[in-house]
Structure 1
Amino acid sequence: MFVVSLTYTASLSDVDALLPAHVEWLKHAYADGLFLASGRKVPREGGVILARGERAALEARLAQDPFAKGGLARYDIIEFVPSMAATGLESLTEA
C-alpha cells in the first residue's frame, strides 16, 4: 500500500485551473481500483492519496496526473504494509 503526498510547486490559481482535469483523473484511478482515498492537505499546500497495487503502475498513473503534466506538483511515495486497521477497514491489511 502507498501514501502519496503531493506538494504544489505552483500558485493555487494555476492549480485551480487544472483542478477539474485532476478530479477526472482521480475518478479513473478510483474506478480502476488503484486509489482508496484522497484529499487536500490542510493548509492547502497539496494533497494526499492512499493507493494500492504495484509501485510501477502507481508511478505511471501519477505521471499522467494533469498536475504532473503541468509541472504543478511534486509527488513523494511512501510504501507500507498495513498490519492493523479499524473495524470495517480490515480488507486493507495484508496477511
Structure 2
Amino acid sequence: MFVVLLRFSADKSAAERYMPGHQEWIERGVDDGVFLLVGGIQPGLGGAIVAHGTSRDDLEARVAADPFVEQDIVSAEIVEIAPWLADDRLKFLLAEPVLP
C-alpha cells in the first residue's frame, strides 16, 4: 500500500491549465482500481492518494505520467506502508494482491 503526496511547487499558478488532464489521470487510477482514496492536502497545499494493488515501479511510472508532475506543478513523494493491523472495514488492505 502506498500514499502519494503531490505538493504544489512554485508554479502552482499553472495548475488550472493542466487540471483537465490531471483529473483524467486521477479518474484512470480510480477506474483501474489502483487509487482507493484521493483528496487535498489542506490548506490548498496539494493532493494525496492512497494506492493499493500495484508495485512501486508501476506506481512510479503512473505518477510520472500525471500532467501536474510532468509540468513540475507538483513534486511527488511516494511513501510505502506495510500494514499489519486494520479496522475490520479495511482488512482487505492487509493482504496485498499478487501482481502480474
TM-score, with length taken from structure 2: 0.85
Tell me the matched-pair count: 95
Matched letter for residue 64 of structure 2: A
Q: Does 1:90 align with 2:94?
A: no
* One-letter identity of the residue aligned with 1:41: I
Moved beyond 4 Å, runs of 4+: none
Unaligned runs of 5+ in 1: none
Distance in 1, Cα, partners of 2:76 & 2:44: 15
Q: How many Å apart are 1:11 and its aligned residue?
A: 4.2
1:61 has 2:27 as partner:
no
Secondary structure class of the residue paired with 1:77: strand
Q: How big is the shift at 1:5? A: 0.8
Q: What does 1:1-95 correspond to in 2, within 5 Å?
A: 1-52=1-52, 53-94=54-95
CA contact (8 A) 1:6 1:75 kept: yes
| Structure 2 unaligned regions, length at least 5 | none
8 A Cα contact 2:8 2:46, kept in partner: yes
In percent, how many aligned pairs have the same letter? 38
Pairwise CA RMSD: 1.5
- Contact residue 81 and residue 94 of structure 1 kept, 8 A: no
CA distance in 2, matches of 1:19, 1:10: 16
SS in structure 1 opposite 2:88? coil
